[in-house]
Structure 1
Amino acid sequence: MTYDSEDVQQILQIALTRKQEGEFSREELVEMASELGISSNMLETTEQKWLAQQEEEGSRRTFNTFRRRAFWAHFISFLAVNLCLILLNLITSPSYFWAIFPVLGWGLGLFFHWRSVYQSKTEDYEIALQKWRTQI
């Protein structure tokens, strides 16, 4: 019986998920690669690429967490200040609702802040990420 590469990948994936320990040593990884006909140089190159990808993903997660915390701090200050302004408005001049102007103005800024934080597939995101990396 012969298997194509997709079948082999699926079979190995199932076998790996069924393994009880869930972890493999470096030696086991090298042994599996050699059994599959993968050279040690190819394995090491691929492993280095994988480690670089893991580091990149970790860096992006940290950056996203940093940006989201900054947004939520902005949101909380928006709520606190504007609630105080609304209360002040209702106490001092209930007939004219002037507090709507700072609420709308700051709300617009808050919307753009939200959009920049949660839209991570843009060129601006990549620029901000690179700038953040140089600052840390």
Structure 2
Amino acid sequence: MTAFEPQSIRSYSQEDVQQILHLAIARQANDKNTEFSYEQILEIAAELEISPDSLKLAERDWLVQQGQVQQRKAFDAYRVRRFQKRLGNYAIFNGFFILSNLLTGGGISWSLYILLFCGLPVGLDVWNTFQIKGEEYEIAFQKWSRNHQIKKTISTVLNKWFKALQV
């Protein structure tokens, strides 16, 4: 399709329309640095002949997706914090052995073996921490998510129980 075709001849697939509108809305938001109110979204939907019920369902699905995105960000931050803690432990542990080797022998001899031997798990931890795709990541995320939900549920139950005891 060329830019010179009359407007009546142009036709687009649903996916093309979504992409064009997405780009137009993003460009308008960047130009004006504004946000859209729910009423504006309703008006846009009405012009596109999208029912309010469909819009509400889409908004609910979007909120669920945003919650999942936030959970994944929290999981990734948890993994980075856990890695930083392990890296700090590794540095302290090996720093102690290197310092003791320097003080007792005047050089780095046997502590180098400990440094290399302990460096292997740290290297594997780097790989596992910063690999954010694949089946292993999904399994780790699901496990973390379940544990997180269990902790949240237990906390809620205990809070309700303590409030009931205080009354």
Question: Of residues 14, 21, 26 in structure 1, which corresponds to 2:24?
Answer: 14
Q: Which structure 2 residues correspond to residues 7-86 of structure 1 after superposition, within 5 A? A: 9-10=19-20, 13-14=23-24, 17-19=27-29, 20=32, 22-86=34-98
Provide Cα deviations, 1:41-99, integer angstroms capped at 9, x if missing partner. Answer: 22122212111111111000000001101101111221122122111112212467111
Measure, in 2, the Cα distance between the counterparts of 1:8 and 1:98.
63
Distance in 2 between residues matched to 1:57 and 1:97, nearest whole Å? 48
Give the 3 Å change call, closer, same or farther, for CA 78–131 of structure 1 in structure 2. same
Offset of residue 21 of structure 1: 5.4
Gaps of 5+ in 2: 1-6, 149-167
Tell me the equivalent position of 2:11: 4
TM-score normalized by the length of structure 1 = 0.86
In structure 1, how many angstroms separate the alpha carbons of the residues matched to 2:111 and 2:22?
63
Q: Identify the residue that residue 129 of structure 1 maps to in structure 2.
A: 141
* Residue identity in the other structure for 1:101: Y
Q: 1:111 to 1:38 in 2, by over 3 A?
A: same
User: Which amino acid is 2:61 matched to?
Assistant: K
Letter in 1 for 2:11: D
Residues in 2 aligned to 1:74 and 1:121: alpha-carbon distance in whole angstroms: 22
Q: Give distance in 1, aligned partners of 2:22 and 2:141.
A: 37
Q: Cα–Cα, structure 1 residues 92 and 42, in superposed 2: closer, same or farther, change >3 Å?
A: same
- Report % sequence identity: 31
**In the aligned structure 1, how far is the partner of 2:41 from the partner of 2:113?**
63
Decide whether aligned partners of structure 1 residues 132 and 11 sit closer, same or farther in structure 2, where only a CA change above 3 A counts.
Answer: closer
Q: 1:15 to 1:46 in 2, by over 3 A?
A: closer
Count of residues in Structure 1 that have an aligned counterpart in Structure 2: 136
Structure 2 Cα separation of the partners of residues 77 and 8 of structure 1: 50
Instruction: Tell me: higher relative CO, structure 1 or 2? Use CA pairs within 8 A at least 6 residues apart.
Output: 1
Unaligned runs of 5+ in 1: none
Structure 2 length as normaliser, TM-score?
0.71
Aligned to 1:106: 118
**Residues 46-55 or 57-66, more deviating:** 46-55
C-alpha spacing 1:134/1:16, structure 2 compared with 1 (3 Å): closer
Summarize deviations over 1:28-49 as a string: whole Å, max 9, x none: 1111101011122221222121
- Per-residue deviation, 1:101: 2.1
